[in-house]
Amino acid sequence: MGLGALLAGVGGREVRALPPGALLTHPAGSGHATWALPDGEAVDTDAALRLPAVWACVRLLADSVSTLPVDVFAGARSVRTPRLLVEPAAGQPLHEWLYAVVTSLLLRGNAYGLITARSGAALWPAQVELVHPDLVGVTAHPTTGVPTYRIGGRAYGSDEVWHVRAHVLPGVLLGMSPVEYARQSIGLGLGAERFGASFFGSGAVPSLLIKSMNPDLDQHEADAVKAAVITSQRTRTPMVLNPSTEITPISLRPDEAQFVETQRLNVAQIARVFGVPVEMIGGDAGGSLTYSNTEARALDFVRYCLSPWLVRVETALGRLLPRGQHAKFNPDALLRGTTSERYTAHEAALRAGWLTVDEVRALEDLPPLPRPAAAPADVDDQAAEVVA
């Protein structure tokens, strides 16, 4: 199922978690949330994803999290991966399921799943079907504060719904939506996209001004001159004009020339909202920051951008596992350096003695070396053992 707007609950009332001034254009539970800007620009998650910078940020983070291997541990000991982390929903592999979860968190600040199957003596969750957030309402008990989730007209307890939050505030049931809080910047980007499409698509400004000093020029002759100029531009051939005709290129006005700069700054603004390095979504960092190797860049991305999302999802997955177990993403695949860098590190580890050859081979996704067969015992030695 898709992703949509979320409902928040405060004091037993079903409400939207919106900042002051935000305006919903639909009643609760009837569709996806739309936030209207003062100038009439409407921004929702569907519109936001049409902005390339938003799409790139969501894709980068969701792809990075969903494609990492997930290991399960009991204390410090690795245990067998449960079926829940292989196919968490019916017919949906883990990477698709995680992609939907992270996308929902990035756009809405919340993700919901309905526990549909349990297993084992303790009835731990075995399947969690993700629910379209537009179908979910959340209310809090007025005295205990315990949340109740309403999905499709039916109420569910907190033990039946898996709820993950991002960007939380004290005393608030739901996480904050980045699209909701950055709607001004997203609306500016969408407006710039439309302006560019109109400006360049319809040819709003001609590129040349043709001026004739001939007072007897009629419309037929003017059309002939214009057609000759257009043909010359299209075929990139020289033009021959009479002395009474002048051609002047038309330059863009300063406000129109600012279009490109506006787009560049908007990409950087959207990248800041999602905490993504702007150069990783094709933007201009506007500085001289460089990385000495690929591993240093990947480490910077994992440490400052990806790590918070990994911790959020790991903690949420741990709530679905038996007591004493926890899930852990393995970001080593993102931190792999070049071949020469890895081999140099392996050599140092082998020399220091804190890695074996088979452990190094496992890091390179290679099988252990075959063990040499035991040499057959000498016949005389065997006889001697029998006599003894």
What's the token pair of residue 128?
């969690």
- For helices 254-274 and 52-66, what crossing angle results, to 10°? 20
Could you say which residues of the chain have pLDDT below 50? 1-31, 40, 379, 382-387
Q: What is the pLDDT of residue 201?
A: 58
Q: Exposed (0-12), middle (13-18) or buried (19+): which is 350, by Cβ within 10 Å?
A: middle
pLDDT, one tens digit per residue, over 84-125 is 999 999 989 999 999 999 999 999 999 999 999 999 888 999
Q: What is the pLDDT of residue 10?
A: 31
Q: What is the pLDDT of residue 134?
A: 80
Q: What is the pLDDT of residue 156?
A: 95
Q: What is the pLDDT of residue 112?
A: 96
Q: What is this structure's pTM?
A: 0.70
